[in-house]
Chains A and B, each alone.
Chain A
Amino acid sequence: MGDAASTPIVDNLFRLYFTIGIILTLLVFFFLVYSAWRFRARGQEEPADAPRAGEVPPNRGHPYVVFGTVIVVGAILFGLSIGTLSSHQFLEHPPDDVSLVIDATGFQFGWMFEYPQGFQTFRELRVPANEAILLRITSPDVMHKFHVADYNIGIDAIPGRTNHLWFNATGPGVAEIRCAELCGIGHGQMVGSIAAIPRAEFDAWVQEQLATLPTPNFVQVFDLNVTREGPVPGQLQAVAGGEIHLRLTNNASTTLGFRLGGPYNVSVPSMAPNSAAWLNFSAPGPATATYEATNETGSRAGFSGTLRVLESQRVTVSLTEWKVTPSAKTVRLDQPVLFIVTNDGKIVHDLNVGGHWDADPDSRDIHAKTPDLAAGRGAALAYFPRAKGTLYLWCNLPGHSESGMLTTLEVV
């Protein structure tokens, strides 16, 4: 459970309202019950001024009772209002030492958080603990309400408008973010989390996020342990149409080199023992190349293998509200498909490739999927068709495929 600087302030105010409220409720309730019971009818006689049908009843009432009530109730409410307005000043106006400003977007159906460092997260907000954080909240579609019950804070996300909400998470912890304004069929699934972590951990996490930004460039990464001896030749299989990154680790006790033959002809002349090196090159078309470890002299060291780059079918897929638009209608079974996906819409989407789409999200058969893509972002996805027939492409964000983000490809 999380906590924030606003939590005790709102809790204290609530306690004040609650105490006064419960005392007043009980007093008035017992006064009501007592009055009714004390003056219950016994016998048949009637008060002198008992009402009669058709008669205008005589006036009753004492001004001092009436004005006394007004003054007492007014004084209580005045006191409560002072508490409210002073707490409100604290909640409404961010302090001067805001350390992080995050753009938050509530969308159908989820939350996106855009960090000033230039990356986004979805559903998960991470902030450094014990620092003032300011959220600028809006929505590209309908109204939502960003609500963190544990922090006692909430504000609406309204299209065309930016609202501000600040908080200071006191101490590490995780709290739940909920949407508290009906926004469509996925309203109940607009759940997110807010994690307050120590500053150092936060900085490390930011670096990690920056290193793994999704892009539409197709990059395949392989790890290769280079040794001196290699009794069985190795086999690597890749898909054409992008870049191949080999991460080489020298596991031997002596210095080794590495060489990849034609058509690539790239090499790393020497790696110290237990060190690593990257070998990056592009692989636009199909090819077969051999690789081997080399001695310091350049001669073959014994470790070897083959890299097979398979021809691929390139299909670009554009995601928009509310359509999934692939550049082809059919793909062949005998080749891997390279989906180059871009989010050309205004809100977050992802692309799922699978053999079966179902109205029930739990019954959908997903073979491959991209991460959540913010507007303008893209991702590449290599996919090996499994059988002839219909392949489904859809966005799996709640409600999106129902709104039209669902299409099919034929595998022939």
Chain B
Amino acid sequence: MDWRRWLTTTNHKDIGILYLVTSLVFFVIGGVLALIFRTQLAQPESTLVEPGLYNQLVTMHGAVMALFFLSPIAFGFANYLVPLQIGASDLAFPRINALSYWTFVLGGLVAASGFALGGAADVGWTFYSPLTNKQYSPGLGVDLAGIGLVLLTVSVVVSTINFFATILAHRRPGLRLYDMPMFTWSIVFTIAIMLAAFPALGGGLLMLVADRHFGTHFFSAQVEGGLVWTHIFWFFGHPEVYVFLHPALGATMEIVPAFSRRPLYGKRYILWSLAIATVLSFIVWVHHMFTTGTDERMREFMSLTTEAISIPFSLIFLCLIATLWRGKVHFRTPMNMALSAMSLFLLGGVTGVFLSSLALDPNFRGTYWVVAHFHFTLVGGTMLMLMAGLYYWYPKFTGRMYNERLGNIHVVFSVIGFLMTFLTMFFISDMPRRIYTYDAASGWGPLNLVVTVGAFVFGAAQALMLFNLLWSLKHGAPAPEDPWRGPGHEWMSSPAPTPAPAPGPAPIAADVAGK
């Protein structure tokens, strides 16, 4: 294949593959950063990494994993699958789609370039002000990360509009919205959140960069700027976790019916749950700010809304389990991974209820308890569900089968490594996060060693998955057209491998006219 095709393509399948591959590259980068600082923390009073570099590592680990891996990988799946699932020939605006992708790549490169330009951002991926002010962070790192994320915001907002246009206007005739496959539905809720939340991030970062370079005072102490920033950031930041979760749930809702051979239980109620969770996700952000002393009524209200948001997710969870009933459950890699991820997500969700408590959170905020909780939801739950999706759609993407045995080894060691890493963290809940070392007298040493060993087991398992996916490209058995007898329309729409691209960019006008 001509490599130039990948630079100029506007085909949704190609761009989907590009998104997937690029976000997996960011995943590897973010993972290596984590392994470096986990090595530093394995022993008390370690001097492998100095504090300045340590802060860069944790900051970029968070930013890369959350914003350049978990967010865009959903666009990878969505680019490839949404048009197939709804019978569109491509996205509504294919060239704008390519623009979104390249803007995202540029944003990621700019954000990460700090490592080469004298120091990446070292202020935490939450960019808390006034630590981000020029006075306290004079280096280029914060500017580069800020600009990188503004570019990402542009890319995301443009994409959401593209997807809305596609889903609303380019469905195959006769396909009612309600009848759309669940993955596409999950993308509807994802882009709804993105469209409302990302501008807060982009706007906040523009103000931050203006404060740093143009003498504005959006976040100065006179206006309690630190508090203002937390409101802006978490107005984006909380809904953002559902941006990660929704597509992962969408993939799970394709996989569980396919491998249990029964239709999804309670689709109507699941859709209502997703809609309610999407709305609620915008009125819970203060649960990240219980210790800021912001208005007490607001804290109490958002403590209650946060507890309430577990109701729709409990329902979705139960519907997924009920789908198995009277089915014929086939334990293949995607299913095994999805069921494992659901089990891990369960604990993430339950520990989230603890953090919703206005009385318990002040003792957890900023400690390893929180780190453990959100890795259960975002890694054990969300990320592994997306990995299940990678296996599930791999035959579709490549025309080959992955290696089943390696896949299952990946599942087992992901779970073992994950639990060693993150279950252990609940037991060092008095240790503050983001400290680069700790005294031997603190007693945190042995458990930190377990965490680090677990992180390497988990990392090795992910490397095995990447190996499996790469190796199978050449050596995998040729995939049948519909290997899983899956419920989605994508399995019948066209032969598995990407067809040769049409010459030149896709004809936009004809596309619209065709509907």
> A residues bordering B, Cβ < 8 Å?
9-10, 13-14, 17-18, 21, 24-25, 28-29, 31-33, 35-37, 39-42, 45-47, 49-61, 65-66, 69-70, 73-74, 77, 80-81, 83-85, 87-88, 91-92, 108, 141-143, 145, 147, 149-150, 152-156, 158-161, 163-164, 178-188
Contact = CB atoms under 8 A, between A and B. Distances in A.
Given A69-B315, A142-B130, A185 B51 contact: yes
Contact of B488 (A49, A53, A188): A53
A236 B367 CA distance: 55
A56 B85 CA distance: 11
Given A46-B261, A53-B489, A24 B350 contact: yes
B353 interface: yes
B342 interface: yes
B263 A51 contact: yes
A266 B223 CA distance: 59
Nearest to B133: A142
A54 B293 contact: no
B360 A145 contact: no
B130 A39 contact: no
A53 B482 contact: yes
Interface in B333-392: 339, 342-343, 346-347, 350-351, 353-354, 357-360, 362-363, 365-367
A28 B346 contact: yes
B226 interface: yes
**What are the 9 A-B residue pairs with the smallest beta carbon separation, nearest first?**
A180-B366, A188-B435, A61-B266, A160-B221, A51-B487, A57-B263, A53-B491, A149-B430, A87-B359
Contacts of A152: 362-363
Contact of A32 (B327, B342, B367): B342
A65 B303 CA distance: 27
B82 interface: no
22 contacts: A10-B360, A10-B363, A32-B321, A39-B328, A40-B330, A46-B261, A50-B328, A59-B268, A60-B266, A69-B315, A70-B311, A73-B311, A74-B311, A77-B308, A85-B303, A85-B359, A88-B300, A142-B128, A153-B363, A154-B365, A158-B224, A159-B224
A160 B357 contact: no
Contact of A187 (B257, B346, B357, B434): B434
Given A81-B303, A184-B136, A147 B366 contact: yes
B199 interface: no
B127 to A, nearest CB: 10
Contacts of A160: 220-226
A77 B327 CA distance: 32
A28 B339 CA distance: 12
A156 B291 contact: yes
B420 interface: no
A61 B319 contact: yes
A25 B55 contact: no
B296 interface: yes
A322 to B, nearest CB: 9
Given A17-B354, A53-B491, A163-B292, 5 more contacts: A39-B325, A53-B486, A60-B263, A81-B303, A141-B130
Interface string B121-159: 011100011110100100000000000000000000000
Contacts of B266: 60-61, 65-66
A192 to B, nearest CB: 13
Contacts of B487: 51-53, 55, 57
B98 interface: no
A36 B324 contact: yes
A13 B364 CA distance: 13
B123 A91 contact: no
Interface in B28-64: 51-52, 55, 58
Nearest to A86: B359
Nearest to B322: A65
Given A21-B350, A66-B266, A77-B353, A161 B491 contact: no
A37 B327 CA distance: 11
A36 B332 CA distance: 12
Nearest to A180: B366
